[in-house]
């Protein structure tokens, strides 16, 4: 990004339960088990068409537990990006915490992944959004100063309030069409 470019607003996305169908209490360990959530590709494309960067911020503790390698996770994300590219919906950046709980400073609800993305991509967090399905996602946005939050309901009882709550990802495109302003 050129040094004189103004900071871009961003829509941050959690992965499991938002970008792809939730594996429940397990992990998506192979591309064959990765399935895009209904409506998410259209939502990503709309964000990009409206001038927003899109950044994936995901916890992937399966690597830390030895259930998959970093290379396997990178391959899964590369395939995801490849599948999104024809739709003009690929992410501008992917940030993954692969550590075990209590062994790092980047695990959600820490703001570290968002703040690293801000530095790497020149992002304006004050005009940004986050879409997640857990309290830790919404709290991460709050901790980073991201004002707009969307929760996709999951099997977890919400304790942290999001600005918008949706029953499923298929409702996200309509919310974004209505509320996400076009950037100059």
14 is catalytic: yes
To which residue do tokens 């964000």 refer? Answer: 47
16 is catalytic: yes
Q: How far is Cα 45 from Cα 39, in angstroms, rounded to an integer?
A: 10
Closest C-alpha to 11, from 172, 155, 136 = 172
Whether 161 and 38 have beta carbons less than 8 Å apart is answered as: no
Q: Which of 4, 14, 92, 120 is catalytic?
A: 14
Closest C-alpha to 124, from 16, 23, 24, 8 = 8
Q: Which of 16, 92, 133, 135 is catalytic?
A: 16
Which residues are designated catalytic?
A: 14, 16
């Amino acid at each position: 990004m050129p040094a004189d470019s103004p900071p871009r607003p961003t829509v941050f996305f959690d992965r499991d339960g938002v970008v792809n169908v939730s594996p429940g209490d397990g992990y998506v360990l192979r591309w064959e088990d990765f399935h895009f959530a209904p409506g998410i590709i259209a939502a990503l494309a709309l964000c990009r068409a409206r001038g927003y960067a899109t950044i994936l911020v995901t916890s992937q503790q399966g690597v830390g537990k030895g259930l998959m390698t970093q290379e396997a996770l990178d391959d899964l994300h590369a395939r995801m990006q490849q599948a999104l590219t024809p739709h003009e919906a690929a992410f501008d950046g992917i940030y993954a915490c692969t550590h075990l709980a209590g062994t790092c400073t980047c695990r959600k609800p820490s703001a570290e992944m968002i703040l690293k993305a801000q530095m790497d991509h020149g992002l304006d967090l004050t005009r940004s959004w986050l879409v997640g399905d857990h309290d830790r996602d919404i709290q991460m946005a709050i901790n980073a100063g991201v004002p707009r939050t969307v929760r996709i309901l999951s099997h977890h009882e919400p304790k942290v309030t999001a600005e918008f709550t949706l029953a499923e990802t298929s409702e996200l495109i309509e919310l974004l069409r209505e509320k996400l302003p076009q950037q100059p």
